[in-house]
A = this chain, B = another copy of it.
Amino acid sequence: MIPLTKKERAYRISAIALMVICITILHYRSDHFNISSHILFRELYFLPIILAGFWFGVPGGVGASLSVTLLYLPFVLALPEGISSHKFGNLIQIIIFNIFGLLFGLLFGRQKRQQQKLLEAESLAAMGRAVSCIAHDMKTPLMAIGGFVQQVRRKVADDKLTTKLDFAVEQVRRLEALVGDMLAFTKPLNLQWPTGRC
Protein backbone atom coordinates (compact mmCIF):
# COMPACT_ATOMS: atom_id res chain seq x y z
CA MET A 1 0.00 0.00 0.00
CA ILE A 2 1.22 3.47 -0.79
CA PRO A 3 1.95 4.98 2.62
CA LEU A 4 0.12 8.29 3.09
CA THR A 5 2.10 11.38 3.91
CA LYS A 6 0.78 13.56 6.74
CA LYS A 7 -0.31 16.13 4.16
CA GLU A 8 -2.25 13.59 2.07
CA ARG A 9 -3.89 12.24 5.21
CA ALA A 10 -4.95 15.72 6.31
CA TYR A 11 -6.17 16.46 2.79
CA ARG A 12 -8.30 13.32 2.66
CA ILE A 13 -9.77 13.86 6.12
CA SER A 14 -10.61 17.46 5.19
CA ALA A 15 -12.22 16.31 1.92
CA ILE A 16 -14.48 13.87 3.81
CA ALA A 17 -15.34 16.43 6.51
CA LEU A 18 -16.09 19.06 3.86
CA MET A 19 -18.39 16.68 1.99
CA VAL A 20 -20.28 15.76 5.17
CA ILE A 21 -20.66 19.42 6.15
CA CYS A 22 -21.75 20.58 2.68
CA ILE A 23 -24.34 17.82 2.35
CA THR A 24 -25.63 18.60 5.85
CA ILE A 25 -25.95 22.31 5.05
CA LEU A 26 -27.80 21.51 1.81
CA HIS A 27 -30.04 19.17 3.74
CA TYR A 28 -30.90 21.62 6.52
CA ARG A 29 -31.61 24.39 4.02
CA SER A 30 -33.93 22.27 1.85
CA ASP A 31 -37.71 22.37 2.15
CA HIS A 32 -39.06 19.70 4.54
CA PHE A 33 -41.72 18.61 2.08
CA ASN A 34 -39.54 18.48 -1.00
CA ILE A 35 -38.89 14.77 -0.74
CA SER A 36 -36.87 14.39 -3.93
CA SER A 37 -34.14 16.84 -2.88
CA HIS A 38 -34.17 15.15 0.53
CA ILE A 39 -33.54 11.79 -0.99
CA LEU A 40 -30.78 13.20 -3.16
CA PHE A 41 -28.97 14.80 -0.22
CA ARG A 42 -29.53 11.79 2.00
CA GLU A 43 -28.06 9.42 -0.55
CA LEU A 44 -25.10 11.72 -1.06
CA TYR A 45 -24.02 10.91 2.51
CA PHE A 46 -22.92 7.52 1.18
CA LEU A 47 -20.15 9.23 -0.74
CA PRO A 48 -18.09 10.46 2.27
CA ILE A 49 -18.90 7.33 4.30
CA ILE A 50 -17.67 4.90 1.65
CA LEU A 51 -14.69 7.10 0.75
CA ALA A 52 -13.67 7.27 4.43
CA GLY A 53 -13.92 3.48 4.67
CA PHE A 54 -11.86 3.14 1.51
CA TRP A 55 -9.14 5.48 2.67
CA PHE A 56 -9.01 4.70 6.39
CA GLY A 57 -10.62 1.26 6.88
CA VAL A 58 -12.97 0.63 9.81
CA PRO A 59 -12.01 3.76 11.84
CA GLY A 60 -12.68 5.89 8.73
CA GLY A 61 -15.96 4.27 7.72
CA VAL A 62 -17.38 4.15 11.26
CA GLY A 63 -16.07 7.63 12.10
CA ALA A 64 -17.76 9.10 9.03
CA SER A 65 -21.05 7.24 9.58
CA LEU A 66 -21.16 8.34 13.23
CA SER A 67 -20.46 11.96 12.23
CA VAL A 68 -23.29 11.76 9.71
CA THR A 69 -25.55 10.28 12.40
CA LEU A 70 -24.73 13.11 14.82
CA LEU A 71 -25.36 15.78 12.19
CA TYR A 72 -28.39 14.23 10.52
CA LEU A 73 -30.30 12.85 13.52
CA PRO A 74 -31.41 16.29 14.90
CA PHE A 75 -32.79 17.09 11.44
CA VAL A 76 -34.74 13.84 11.30
CA LEU A 77 -36.09 14.22 14.85
CA ALA A 78 -37.18 17.79 14.07
CA LEU A 79 -39.30 16.67 11.09
CA PRO A 80 -42.99 17.62 11.39
CA GLU A 81 -45.27 14.80 12.55
CA GLY A 82 -47.18 14.85 9.24
CA ILE A 83 -44.48 12.91 7.49
CA SER A 84 -43.83 10.31 10.15
CA SER A 85 -43.39 7.45 7.70
CA HIS A 86 -40.69 9.52 6.01
CA LYS A 87 -39.16 10.11 9.45
CA PHE A 88 -39.12 6.37 10.14
CA GLY A 89 -37.48 5.83 6.74
CA ASN A 90 -34.81 8.35 7.66
CA LEU A 91 -34.05 6.53 10.90
CA ILE A 92 -33.64 3.30 8.94
CA GLN A 93 -31.36 5.17 6.59
CA ILE A 94 -29.17 6.28 9.51
CA ILE A 95 -28.85 2.68 10.65
CA ILE A 96 -27.88 1.70 7.09
CA PHE A 97 -25.24 4.45 7.02
CA ASN A 98 -23.61 2.95 10.10
CA ILE A 99 -23.82 -0.62 8.86
CA PHE A 100 -22.32 0.38 5.51
CA GLY A 101 -19.59 2.42 7.21
CA LEU A 102 -18.57 -0.62 9.25
CA LEU A 103 -19.02 -3.14 6.43
CA PHE A 104 -17.07 -1.25 3.77
CA GLY A 105 -14.47 -0.22 6.35
CA LEU A 106 -13.91 -3.90 7.11
CA LEU A 107 -13.84 -4.89 3.44
CA PHE A 108 -11.43 -2.15 2.36
CA GLY A 109 -9.25 -2.55 5.47
CA ARG A 110 -8.90 -6.27 4.79
CA GLN A 111 -8.01 -5.61 1.16
CA LYS A 112 -5.36 -3.11 2.28
CA ARG A 113 -3.72 -5.65 4.57
CA GLN A 114 -3.77 -8.30 1.83
CA GLN A 115 -2.12 -5.83 -0.55
CA GLN A 116 0.59 -5.11 2.01
CA LYS A 117 1.33 -8.82 2.41
CA LEU A 118 1.33 -9.35 -1.35
CA LEU A 119 3.77 -6.46 -1.77
CA GLU A 120 6.18 -7.95 0.76
CA ALA A 121 5.88 -11.44 -0.72
CA GLU A 122 6.37 -10.18 -4.26
CA SER A 123 9.43 -8.11 -3.24
CA LEU A 124 10.95 -11.11 -1.53
CA ALA A 125 10.22 -13.34 -4.53
CA ALA A 126 11.77 -10.81 -6.92
CA MET A 127 14.83 -10.57 -4.68
CA GLY A 128 15.01 -14.35 -4.55
CA ARG A 129 14.82 -14.68 -8.35
CA ALA A 130 17.64 -12.16 -8.82
CA VAL A 131 19.84 -13.79 -6.17
CA SER A 132 19.22 -17.27 -7.57
CA CYS A 133 20.13 -16.22 -11.13
CA ILE A 134 23.34 -14.57 -9.97
CA ALA A 135 24.32 -17.52 -7.76
CA HIS A 136 23.90 -19.95 -10.64
CA ASP A 137 25.94 -17.70 -12.94
CA MET A 138 28.76 -17.49 -10.39
CA LYS A 139 28.97 -21.15 -9.43
CA THR A 140 30.82 -22.60 -12.45
CA PRO A 141 33.45 -19.84 -12.94
CA LEU A 142 34.26 -19.95 -9.21
CA MET A 143 34.73 -23.72 -9.26
CA ALA A 144 36.99 -23.39 -12.31
CA ILE A 145 39.10 -20.68 -10.68
CA GLY A 146 39.44 -22.65 -7.44
CA GLY A 147 40.35 -25.83 -9.32
CA PHE A 148 43.00 -24.26 -11.57
CA VAL A 149 44.61 -22.23 -8.78
CA GLN A 150 44.86 -25.28 -6.52
CA GLN A 151 46.38 -27.38 -9.32
CA VAL A 152 49.07 -24.73 -9.84
CA ARG A 153 49.51 -24.36 -6.05
CA ARG A 154 50.52 -28.06 -5.81
CA LYS A 155 53.19 -27.70 -8.53
CA VAL A 156 54.78 -24.44 -7.32
CA ALA A 157 57.63 -24.67 -4.79
CA ASP A 158 58.37 -20.95 -4.15
CA ASP A 159 57.00 -19.96 -0.71
CA LYS A 160 56.10 -16.41 -1.79
CA LEU A 161 54.06 -17.70 -4.71
CA THR A 162 52.28 -20.38 -2.66
CA THR A 163 51.29 -17.75 -0.06
CA LYS A 164 49.75 -15.65 -2.84
CA LEU A 165 47.94 -18.64 -4.31
CA ASP A 166 46.71 -19.59 -0.81
CA PHE A 167 45.28 -16.09 -0.45
CA ALA A 168 43.56 -16.44 -3.84
CA VAL A 169 42.07 -19.81 -2.84
CA GLU A 170 40.88 -18.32 0.43
CA GLN A 171 39.05 -15.57 -1.45
CA VAL A 172 37.54 -18.14 -3.81
CA ARG A 173 36.28 -20.07 -0.75
CA ARG A 174 34.78 -16.82 0.58
CA LEU A 175 32.90 -16.26 -2.67
CA GLU A 176 31.82 -19.90 -2.77
CA ALA A 177 30.41 -19.50 0.75
CA LEU A 178 28.55 -16.40 -0.48
CA VAL A 179 27.08 -18.40 -3.38
CA GLY A 180 26.13 -21.16 -0.94
CA ASP A 181 24.30 -18.62 1.27
CA MET A 182 22.56 -17.19 -1.78
CA LEU A 183 21.37 -20.62 -2.91
CA ALA A 184 20.24 -21.49 0.62
CA PHE A 185 18.23 -18.24 0.72
CA THR A 186 16.50 -18.94 -2.57
CA LYS A 187 15.94 -22.68 -2.18
CA PRO A 188 12.48 -22.58 -0.53
CA LEU A 189 11.36 -20.08 -3.14
CA ASN A 190 12.63 -22.18 -6.03
CA LEU A 191 9.92 -24.75 -5.38
CA GLN A 192 7.23 -22.25 -6.32
CA TRP A 193 8.80 -20.87 -9.45
CA PRO A 194 8.07 -21.85 -12.99
CA THR A 195 11.15 -23.21 -14.74
CA GLY A 196 13.34 -21.27 -17.16
CA ARG A 197 13.55 -18.01 -15.21
CA CYS A 198 17.36 -17.65 -15.31
Contact = CB atoms under 8 A, between A and B. Distances in A.
Interface of A: 1-2, 35-36, 38-40, 43-44, 46-47, 50-51, 54, 85-86, 88-89, 92-93, 96, 100, 103-104, 107-108, 111, 114-115, 118-119, 122-127, 129-131, 134, 137-138, 141-142, 144-145, 148-149, 151-152, 155-156, 158, 161, 164-165, 167-168, 171-172, 174-175, 178, 182
Given A39-B92, A145-B172, 19 more contacts: A35-B88, A35-B89, A43-B92, A46-B46, A47-B100, A119-B119, A119-B122, A122-B122, A127-B127, A130-B131, A141-B174, A142-B175, A148-B164, A148-B171, A152-B164, A152-B168, A155-B158, A156-B156, A156-B161
Nearest to A134: B134
B145 A152 contact: no
7 cross-chain pairs, A with B, having the tightest CB-CB distances, nearest first: A123-B126, A141-B171, A148-B168, A127-B130, A39-B89, A148-B164, A126-B127
Give the interface SS of chain A, mostly helix, strand, loop or mixed. Answer: helix
Contact of A134 (B44, B142, B149, B182): B182
A156 B149 CA distance: 13
Contacts of A152: 152, 156, 161, 164-165, 168
Contacts of A85: 35-36
Report the copy number of this chain in the oligomer: 2
Contacts of A142: 171, 175
B145 A145 contact: yes
A135 to B, nearest CB: 8
